[in-house]
Structure 1
Amino acid sequence: MTIIDTTQQNDPRDVYATAATWVSGLLGAVRSEQLDLPTPCDEFDVRTLAGHLVATVGRLIAIAELGSPDSVSPFSAVHDAASFDELVVQARAAWAEDALLDAPVVVPWGAVPGRSAVWGYARELLLHGWDLAVATGQPAEVDPALIEPVAEEFRGMLPAEARVPGVPFDSIVEPRTAAGPLERLANFSGRSSDGWV
């Protein structure tokens, strides 16, 4: 399958930072009695999902500094907003140099330019943020202006006609008529809204 990079002229760093601010608010509002609840992402309960969100920021830092996320586990034992925020500050500093956006890096989905890595981790924050929001009863939509560039990048990288179910996402789910932009993005990634919204 050919991966089409449609993001060469775009800088994803502000999108990532805005998505991170939203996720931080979600993490900060999770109550201890919610940590064992299921989420729309079947492999995660709330605790594991929150730890994964923290870990993704550490992995993005490792990509900037080492060219690969492999030195950082995709799961973190910590799952609080303060730890997440501290790592986001480090990630923004690690990606401050414009040249990194065109540097070749390795990510879990292949070898890509740095900017594609940042787009991918912005998408990760938004999709898993949606998972966390609906699992914990928090508002699960954000400014459509934040979703639009992420959705465009995602559809360019993995168009519907190139989708192989389960690799790396499940089959596209038809969105509800009332679905907002982030729910639609979650549906495009294979997440069902049934029972969650």
Structure 2
Amino acid sequence: MDTTQDPRPLYRSALDQLEKLIAEAGPETLDRPTPCAEYDLRALLDHVVGGVHRFAYTGEGGLSLDVAAATGGVPDDGWPAALGRARARVTAAWAQDAKLDRPTSVPWGEVSGRDAVGGYVLETVVHAWDIARALDATDRLDERLGEAALAIALAVMPAEPRGGRVPFAPVQPAPAGADAYTRLAAHTGRAV
């Protein structure tokens, strides 16, 4: 990952995209399956919004593994507001430039704040694809974010081994000429 740049604007763009998708996820869609076999859309939204809170907690100085990445109790029509609260918290937690160079505890280890933000760009963009697939809305994904997240994934996620500290399924084949999101999904072990 390029650690000379500030990844927070990219993360804000990823959250913008996520916000638009979650606004489309009405109560009638929440039981739909997602590319994450263990999550229906409701459970995936819980995981994603909880992950934003977890990342906020690390920006506040906490250890990421001290908190569960789940929100619990969000009403079916409350996901946009839940993400809004999480977004406000994470934005405040990561507002200080000095935090980008501070050691930060995230689920995959201790890294610089800058690399932690990059990791959450990847997390947010991958799950945006998952949500978009469940909503049949992949045509509304920002290709620039897909390219950025793919670059991060290729730089920090080895193809092998998978499992343990690399909690992803084996890399899947992507069709020739696939867009960045499809290649990203395949690299993170999702069937495309």
Q: Does TM, normalized by the shorter one, top 0.5?
A: yes
Which position in structure 2 is the counterpart of 1:27?
Answer: 22
Is 1:64 the equivalent of 2:50? no
AA paired with 2:11?
Y
AA paired with 1:49?
L
SS at match of 1:70: helix
How large is the Cα RMSD of the aligned pairs? 1.7
Distance 2:137 2:35 in 1: 14
TM-score by length of structure 2 reads 0.89
Q: Unpaired runs of 5+ in structure 1? A: 1-5
Q: Which runs of 4+ in 1 moved over 3 A?
A: none
User: Identical aligned pairs, as a percentage?
Assistant: 36
Structure 1 segment 46-195 matched on structure 2, within 5 A: 46-77=41-72, 78=74, 80-140=79-139, 142-160=141-159, 163-166=160-163, 167-177=166-176, 179-193=178-192
AA paired with 1:138?
A
Q: Unpaired runs of 5+ in structure 2? A: none
Pick closer, same or farther for the CA change 1:141–1:25 going to 2, 3 Å.
Answer: closer
* 1:27-56 Cα distance to aligned partner (Å, 9 max, x none): 111121221121111111110001111111
TM-score by length of structure 1 reads 0.87
Distance 1:96 1:178 in 2: 38
How many residues of Structure 1 are paired with residues of Structure 2 in the alignment?
186
Distance 2:99 2:70 in 1: 25
Which position in structure 1 is the counterpart of 2:11?
Answer: 16
Distance 2:85 2:177 in 1: 36
